[in-house]
Amino acid sequence: MIDIDLAAVSAAAERISGMAVRTPLLSSPALDAQVGGNVLLKAENLQRSGSFKFRGAYNRLAALQPSESAAGVVAWSSGNHAQGVAAAAQILGIKAAIIMPSDAPEIKVENTRGYGAEVIFYDRYTESREEISYALARKRGAVVVPSFDDPYIIAGQGTVGLEIAEQAKTAGRNIDILLCCCGGGGLIAGTSIAVRALSPATEIFSVEPASFDDTARSLVAGKRLSNPPEARSICDALLAPEPGELTFPINQTLLAAGLSVTDDEVKSAMAYAFRVLKLVVEPGGVVALAALLSGKIDVTGKTVVAVLSGGNVDPHMFSDVISSTD
Amino acid sequence: MIDIDLAAVSAAAERISGMAVRTPLLSSPALDAQVGGNVLLKAENLQRSGSFKFRGAYNRLAALQPSESAAGVVAWSSGNHAQGVAAAAQILGIKAAIIMPSDAPEIKVENTRGYGAEVIFYDRYTESREEISYALARKRGAVVVPSFDDPYIIAGQGTVGLEIAEQAKTAGRNIDILLCCCGGGGLIAGTSIAVRALSPATEIFSVEPASFDDTARSLVAGKRLSNPPEARSICDALLAPEPGELTFPINQTLLAAGLSVTDDEVKSAMAYAFRVLKLVVEPGGVVALAALLSGKIDVTGKTVVAVLSGGNVDPHMFSDVISSTD
């Protein structure tokens, strides 16, 4: 197992170079005026496959030995990791089977198939995606590609943080605060490793759906706590049952605290992104912006980075959100 | 009157620096694969006020003498120039009255008022916005800010081209082809001045709605031709009746030819921008991308810049387009 440190993130950055998009760090005078700080938006909705997940997936798959990749890979995912793995596998000529919940957004299922992957459905609330995945992998001799609890995945997602630090430096900005969504915690763990190594004074906050605030509660408790099984949220990308085994210790060390936002705050932020920022951001991708817009943290006079982690949202859901919110 | 040349564009760039957003030049592996070339998207939908129009408006207003600005400004616009002028006037503390067609998209009217401007409606098909504007300006002693036929406006819009040339150079790309929307022709005239000065081998094509292809026809005829009064298009930002007096001679000298796209091709491109690029682009803003996606020009193996000029679209219209197009 590789160490998960700045060197691993830098190695991932080299591996994905030319394959992943170096997404822009955007600014908006209207947003700055709205929140009273200088906001920089890391637009991972503009990433290949529509979310940051391509980074970790490509980093993992490109590091496989030929003997491993020959039998293909298996992954489970609500959708974005599915698309990331499928897109990376297609580029590298590796067969991919993806275990997806039967209620995953259509666009994520279609896109996963569009990248040539095999999609296998399971019931999110009654079946274990892990069991199904490992059983299939054993049968095929395939490698399982976890969505967050894997050093290569975490290091790959960490390239988001590496780029943020580099881009902020180029723009002459010191990052006071960084807000990043948190499902299983891979993106924020990797990002925190890179950002805190290059900008130790930056305070990093996770942002979760209010009903899936396991990381926020776990940070307070000092141990991994789960979400209740009956919890629901429109943030389909952030529905991990509990913090990861690998990701939580990293986040425990590097994060300042955890914030959370309601589904209504998420919808308002999606509508704001449409109306003012002209960006398509999915529910799980917009939580950091939602925390800013709903005043979950005072950023007056501060330089704040908010990660927009993905934009894979069904047209009918997006239409509902932009039409019903003012 | 100032000369409209690279020096004027550079002066405009200095004037708008720190006020206008330096919008990113985006790339998308999916789009590249789709059209078989390397596409760079100049995302002016991410500009302050939601379109490139802020650039020219701010350049014009910032160059006013104190005696001129005291009485305020008057402008006519279907919406984007309105918002650009209103936003610039608000920053500079100048009173702005905007003459808008009664069928302008609601979002453009609301936003214009949101920037503190006074909105006065006229009927696009029976009244003369020029007459109304000049009459009001005479009464108030105000300065009229034309939407394209003005050297400061053209030079300001030209900063789009200046940034494109600089950003492509930083990315190590030579621009073979540039596609840019054309209504009155201010954006493409200014952009062409900058791009052709810095990259003389670049071929530049205007893109218009098929029913408002006055520039394409005028380029062929060698003289300014009008659109028929009964012409209609969903591209509300590109409904100028004929090429501009100042813009056409520039475009005649610098453009390779004019392309055009149907309203259906525009809708498909808007849906593509939503689904694949995760960008909100308005009908008039997406015509260059529509020309690419509908194969109006062969870009195989070429580096192509397409300008996305704006993103101010009503939610209900956007919903219809993304829901009904596959």
Q: What is the pLDDT of residues B9-31, one digit of tens each?
A: 999 999 999 999 999 999 999 99
pLDDT band of residue B300 (cuts 50, 70, 90) is very high
Q: Is A96 on the interface with B (CB under 8 A)?
A: no
Mutation target for A interface from B278, B289, B319, B322: give the one with most A CBs within 10 A. B278
Per-residue model confidence (pLDDT) at position B286: 98
Name residue B62's amino acid.
A
CB contact under 8 A, B50 and A319: no
pLDDT at A94 over 80: yes
A106 lies within 8 A of chain B by CB:
no
Predicted confidence (pLDDT) per residue in A44-67, tens digit:
999 999 999 999 999 999 999 999
Q: What is the pLDDT of residues A223-236, one digit of tens each?
A: 999 999 999 999 99
Average pLDDT, rounded, for chain A = 96
First CA to last CA across chain B, in angstroms?
Answer: 49
Q: pLDDT value at position B307?
A: 98
Q: What is the pLDDT of residue A1?
A: 65
Closest CA to A160 of A25, A312, A7: A25
Tell me the count of A-B CB pairs closer than 8 A.
74
Q: Residue A311: which of B21, B271, B278 has the nearest Cβ?
A: B278
Distance from CA of B316 to the nearest CA of A (A): 6
Distance from CA of B311 to the nearest CA of A (A): 6
Compare all CA atoms of chain B with the CA of A285 and give the residue at the minimum distance. B278
pLDDT of residue A324: 83
Per CB-CB distance under 8 Å, the chain A contacts of B323 are 315-316, 319
Per-residue pLDDT, averaged over B148-161, amounts to: 97
Q: What is the pLDDT of residues B196-227, one digit of tens each?
A: 999 999 999 999 999 999 999 999 999 999 99
Chain B nearest-CA residue for A31: B48
- Give the largest Cα separation in chain A, rounded: 56
Q: Is A279 on the interface with B (CB under 8 A)?
A: yes
CA distance A312 to chain B (A): 8
Whether chain B has a CB inside 8 Å of the CB on A322: the answer is yes
User: Alpha helices, DSSP H only, in chain B?
Assistant: 6-16, 29-35, 53-62, 66-69, 80-92, 106-114, 129-140, 151-170, 186-198, 214-221, 247-254, 263-272, 287-293, 315-324
A280 contacts B318? CB cut-off 8 A:
no
| B96-118 residue pLDDT tens | 999 999 988 888 898 899 999 99
Chain B residues 32-71 within an 8 A CB cutoff of chain A: 45-46, 48, 50
Min Cα distance A138 → chain B (Å) is: 33
Question: B79-91: per-residue pLDDT in tens?
Answer: 899 999 999 999 9
Average pLDDT, chain B: 96
Sequence-distant (6+) residues with CB within 8 A of A117 are A82, A85, A86, A89, A90, A96, A97, A98
Cβ pair A278:B281 closer than 8 A: yes
At A92 the three-state DSSP class reads helix
Q: How confident is the model at residue B246 (pLDDT cuts 50, 70, 90)?
A: very high
For residue A278, the model assigns a pLDDT of 98
Per-residue model confidence (pLDDT) at position A105: 84
On chain B, the residues whose CB falls within 8 A of the CB of A323 are 315-316, 319
Q: Which residues pair with A303 in a beta bridge?
A: A38
The stretches of B46-150 forming alpha helices (DSSP H) are: 53-62, 66-69, 80-92, 106-114, 129-140
Query: Is residue B282 within 8 Å of B310, Cβ to Cβ?
Result: yes
Of A24, A30, A319, the CB nearest to B24: A24
Tell whether A318 is within 8 A of chain B (Cβ): yes
Residue among B21, B278, B281 minimizing CB distance to A45:
B278
Pairing type for strands B118-122 and B96-101 reads parallel
Question: Do residue A322 and residue B322 have CB atoms under 8 angstroms apart?
Answer: no
Cβ distance of A278 and B45 shorter than 8 Å: yes
Q: Residue A321 pLDDT more than 60?
A: yes
What was the pLDDT predicted at A176? 98
Mean local confidence (pLDDT), A263-279: 98
Q: Are residues A56 and A159 in contact, defined by beta-carbon separation less than 8 angstroms?
A: no
State the pLDDT at residue B1.
65
Interchain proximity A21–B28, CB inside 8 Å: yes
Residue B229 contacts A where some CB pair is shorter than 8 Å: no
pLDDT at A202 over 70: yes
pLDDT confidence bin for B34, thresholds 50/70/90: very high
Q: What's the rounded Cα separation, in Å, for the pair B250 and B4?
A: 9
When pLDDT is averaged across residues A248-259 and rounded to a whole number, the result is: 98
Determine the Cα–Cα distance for residues A15 and A307; give it in Å rounded to an integer.
Answer: 22
Largest CA distance in chain B: 56
Classify B210 as helix, strand or coil.
Answer: helix
Angle, CA of B281, B284 and B286, to the nearest 5°:
45
- CB-nearest to A46 from B278, B280, B281 is B278
**B93 within 8 A of B70, measured Cβ to Cβ:** no
Whether the pLDDT of residue B137 is over 60: the answer is: yes
pLDDT tens, position by position, A19-51: 999 999 999 999 999 999 999 999 999 999 999
Q: Which residues of B touch A286 (CB under 8 A)?
A: none
Q: How far is A14 from chain B (nearest CA, A)?
A: 17
Write out pLDDT tens, residues B51-80.
999 999 999 999 999 999 999 999 998 789
Using pLDDT thresholds of 50, 70 and 90, give the confidence band for residue A247.
very high
Of B27, B276, B318, the CB nearest to A322: B318
Q: What is this structure's pTM?
A: 0.96
